């Protein structure tokens, strides 16, 4: 028999070793989730601007940009809900039934456990609604329900970018509307600069609207639950409706939801507390 060695169809070089411990750096500054979301989105915008200073971006860059935008959205919700569990008794109680791997519980510091719970995805309307339902938001405001239609469409674009390198598959075409997208199956995602700007703006307005409604929901809920004689919580504190007395309890909520770095920034703690007091103390 011949001892002839058949060369490989594709030449393969040794795979380099990857030390993942060298691929991360710690972040010192702690910002509110909405501030961090705006900063992250603006960072993606700068990458887009530098990579395609003139003309429309390539399909590959379009996919990377959309992935970045949706990653910023997911990070916002994951950070917000995990931190909320630390300051809001009702949220902590609601998440108390959430399963957590024993290995994670043993390895993660207690202050980080709540964030460890949120490895779940937020990259679809179904998943986002499920996460909000977990903290008690079973019925969403009309404004958020309407905005979720646009968010859902962007999530389907993300799915194409992640799983098909930008090519539209039949399932996503069906979810986006087969009558209008059926002939585009197999086409690659290739947005203009204006299209990407519209996607970025839609996501920013969506996150801001969610931020406002979640804040009002959780802060007003404290009043409702404190006045509920059948509450499962034994409240050790109550709102006094005086800023000097309530500031210590109100400030953690304000700091979690307030936009400080963006323009326009949120109203002052004193002003926001005044609205909260006036709408609830009666």
Contacts 24+ apart (CB under 8 A), 37-40: 37/72, 37/73, 37/75, 37/76, 37/204, 37/207, 38/204, 38/259, 38/261, 38/262, 39/261, 40/68, 40/71, 40/72, 40/75
pTM: 0.88
User: Average pLDDT, stretch 190-207?
Assistant: 95
- How far apart, in Å, are the Cα atoms of 103 and each of 106, 108, 116, 128, 275? 5, 9, 11, 26, 44
Cα-Cα-Cα-Cα dihedral of 174, 210, 67, 113, to 10°?
-120
pLDDT on residue 106: 43
pLDDT digit string, tens, across residues 127-158: 999 999 999 999 999 999 999 999 999 999 99
pLDDT on residue 198: 96
* pLDDT exceeds cutoff 70 at 217: yes
**Among residues 33, 11, 27, which one has the least CA distance to residue 257?**
33
Task: DSSP for 158-187, please give it.
Answer: HHHHHHSTTBPPHHHHHHHHHHHHGGGTTP
Question: pLDDT exceeding 70 applies to what percent of the chain?
Answer: 90
Residue 270: pLDDT band (50, 70, 90) is: very high
Two tokens, residue 147: 């905005």
**Among residues 174, 194, 197, which one has the least CA distance to residue 184?**
174
Average pLDDT over the chain, rounded to an integer:
88
pLDDT on residue 158: 93
DSSP 188: B
User: Average pLDDT, stretch 60-88?
Assistant: 93
pLDDT on residue 109: 53
* pLDDT exceeds cutoff 70 at 1: no
pLDDT digit string, tens, across residues 2-30: 678 888 999 999 999 999 989 888 877 78
Residue 112: pLDDT band (50, 70, 90) is: low
């Amino acid at each position: 028999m011949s001892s002839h060695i058949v060369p490989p169809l594709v030449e393969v070089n040794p795979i380099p070793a990857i030390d993942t411990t060298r691929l991360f750096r710690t972040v010192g500054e702690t910002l509110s989730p909405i501030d961090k979301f705006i900063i992250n989105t603006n960072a993606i915008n700068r990458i887009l601007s530098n990579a395609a200073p003139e003309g429309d971006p390539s399909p590959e860059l379009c996919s990377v940009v959309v992935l970045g935008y949706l990653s910023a959205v997911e990070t916002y919700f994951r950070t917000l809900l995990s931190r909320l569990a630390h300051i809001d008794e009702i949220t902590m109680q609601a998440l108390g039934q959430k399963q957590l791997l024993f290995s994670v519980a043993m390895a993660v510091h207690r202050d980080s456990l709540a964030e460890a719970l949120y490895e779940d995805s937020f990259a679809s309307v179904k998943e986002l609604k499920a996460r909000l339902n977990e903290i008690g938001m079973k019925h969403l405001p009309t404004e958020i329900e309407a905005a979720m239609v646009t968010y859902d469409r962007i999530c389907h674009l993300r799915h194409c970018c992640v799983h098909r390198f930008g090519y539209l598959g039949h399932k996503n075409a069906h979810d986006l509307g087969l009558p209008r997208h059926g002939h585009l199956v197999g086409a690659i995602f290739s947005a203009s600069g204006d299209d990407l700007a519209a996607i970025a703006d839609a996501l920013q307005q969506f996150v801001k609207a969610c931020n406002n409604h979640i804040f009002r929901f959780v802060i007003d809920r404290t009043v409702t639950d404190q006045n509920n004689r059948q509450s499962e919580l034994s409240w050790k504190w109550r709102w006094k409706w005086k800023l000097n007395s309530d500031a210590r309890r109100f400030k953690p909520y304000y700091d979690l939801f307030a936009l400080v770095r963006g323009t326009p920034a949120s109203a002052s703690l004193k002003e926001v507390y005044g609205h909260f007091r006036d709408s609830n103390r009666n």
